[in-house]
Amino acid sequence: MKTFLKRLEKWLDFDLRYVVKNGLWLGLDDLTSILASVLLTVVFANSISKETYGSYRYILSVFGILSITTLPNMNIAVSGAVARGSTGILKKAFKTRIRWGFFGSIASLIFGIYYFTQNNSLMSSAFALVALFLPFMDSLNLYEGFLRGKKLFNLQSQYAIVTRLISTIVLIGTIFLTKNLIIILIAFFLPYVITRLYFYLYTSRNLKTDETITDQKTITYGKHLSVIQLLGVLVNYLDNVLIFSYLGPISLAVYSIALAPIKKVQQAFSIIPDLALPKFSERSIEVIKKKLPRQIIRGIILVVISILLYMVFVEPLFKIFFPRYLDSVPYSQTLAIILIGLPFSLIYTLLQSHARTKEIYIYNVSIRIAQLIAILVLVSLYGIWGAVWARIALQIVSIPILITMLVKIKDKNIEKPPS
């Protein structure tokens, strides 16, 4: 077994011992998340109507868009700062996220007022609920960025697993007891807020967070990263909003089920960028550039094999777990093509780890504008298929841009040698 791992490590040109040591917990976290999400999707698909599930996905999509006001990429900035020794940034970053999150609450209340004027009390109540939880839901998980920066992947994963298990159990139990959309939404939001609040307080009180050791540029950088991500968040959820608006909740339910497995694969892969971020922060860009192309090429080989296997086995799996959503299969098979972009995400991680704000801006603005136009045009013309092709278009545009950036990026200053 050790010989096999050494050969695999040499072929991938990647520090597998680091992955095994720290990635075991992150892998367990991702596995728990995937299993919980699959279980929830199965329960939703087989226990409530397509109309209710479509409405649920629409509300969470708007929530996702409005959550950009909570500066979600502040976690990345905090992780990098803590890795460089600025351990006191946690509380300051948290207060900043909460403060900005209230702008999202105001926007959600405007949504609620609009639906109230349309005599839709259900949606009006739903967005009032979103306004209540929005500033806290994601802001409280800032401790994950802190723990990741200190390479405490075991604690980060343990906290996330406990949070996810509690939330999943509460939500599934609620679905079995009631089909009321408002109660289901409360069962989604409340457990996350309570558990994340506990772990945030525990982290800030029990780990070394010396408030005299801060990096003032971190808050500004976190805001920049989140502003950069604005278009990304918008286009990530906009297809859901447009499908709901043009075609109704049933079509959105079909599309959401088709996309769900693909998102889980993307989530499983995210363990690699999470592990790479603190490593990249410690090394010079030139050192990373020597190895990264080989790692990406070998990653592509593994991803292509995975895509082909998925296309073959997705239909029998849907017959077992989602028998009411067999019309989602063709969409899901085609959506698998977007996985080809996964290995290239390491280039973006390199940009983030070295705070290359200009390059990150260029990348996000260029591909997101292209995708935004594609979504607006294609969904209005071709419905669900338009949303599918718009997501694929993102990869067609993003890959050559990332490759160009990898070729051109250089160290600004003399970096620390690899540890």
Report the pLDDT averaged over residues 56-67.
Answer: 95
- Look at residue 361 and give its three-state secondary structure: helix
- For residue 57, tell me if it sits in a domain: yes
Decide if 232 is inside a domain: yes
How many angstroms separate the most distant Cα atoms in the chain? 68
Given pLDDT bands bounded at 50, 70 and 90, which one contains residue 12?
A: low
SS3 219: helix
**375 HSE (CA, 13 A, CB side):** 20
Most confident of 17-31, 169-183, 195-209, 360-374: 169-183
Domain-embedded: residue 415: no
How many structural domains does the chain have? 1
Residue 285 lies in a domain: yes
**Tens digit of each residue's pLDDT (9 = 90 or more) over 234-243:** 888 999 999 9
Percent of the chain scored above 70 by pLDDT?
Answer: 87
- In a domain, residue 413? The reply is no
Distance between CA atoms of residues 390 and 103, nearest Å: 29
Q: Of 50, 162, 131, 142, nearest to 94 (Cα)?
A: 142
Residue 55's domain spans which residues? 2-408
The dihedral built from the CA positions of residue 398, 403, 407 and 409, taken in this order, carries a sign that is: positive
Looking at residue 416, what is its pLDDT?
46
pTM above 0.85, yes or no: no
Crossing angle for the helix pair 216-247 and 50-66, to the nearest 10 degrees:
150
* pLDDT tens digits for range 301-323: 989 999 999 999 999 999 999 99
Alpha carbon separation from 73 to 97, 201, 234 (Å, rounded): 10, 20, 14
Compute the distance between CA of residue 155 and CA of residue 141 in angstroms, rounded to an integer. 13
Q: Is residue 160 part of a domain?
A: yes
In a domain, 250, yes or no: yes
Residue 181, H or E segment: helix 181-206
User: Residue 43 domain-assigned?
Assistant: yes
